[in-house]
Amino acid sequence: MFGLFKKDPVKKLEKEYLAVMEKAMIIQRTGDLKHYARLIEESETIQMKIQELKNGK
């Protein structure tokens, strides 16, 4: 009952992951590959957090 209004952390991380990947795609098209690499690294850490949460359930 108390978990009714609790947000799912996996969904939040998936939205964040998609936003970072979209931003990375735009940055890649502009040619800033260093910034692109940092965003891809950030997206990979988010993806690992998602996997940890999914495996923990």
Instruction: Find out whether 33 and 3 touch, Cβ atoms under 8 Å.
Output: no
Q: Would the pLDDT of 34 be above 90?
A: yes
Q: Residues near 27 by Cβ (< 8 Å), separated by ≥ 6?
A: 35, 36, 39
Confidence of residue 2 (pLDDT cuts 50, 70, 90): low
Which alpha helices (H) appear in the chain, and where do they start and end? Answer: 9-30, 33-56
Query: What is the number of residues in the chain?
Result: 57
Task: Output the pLDDT for position 5.
Answer: 72
d(CA 41, CA 28): 14
d(CA 4, CA 15): 20
What pTM value is reported for the model? 0.83
The mean per-residue pLDDT over the stretch 6-34 comes to 94
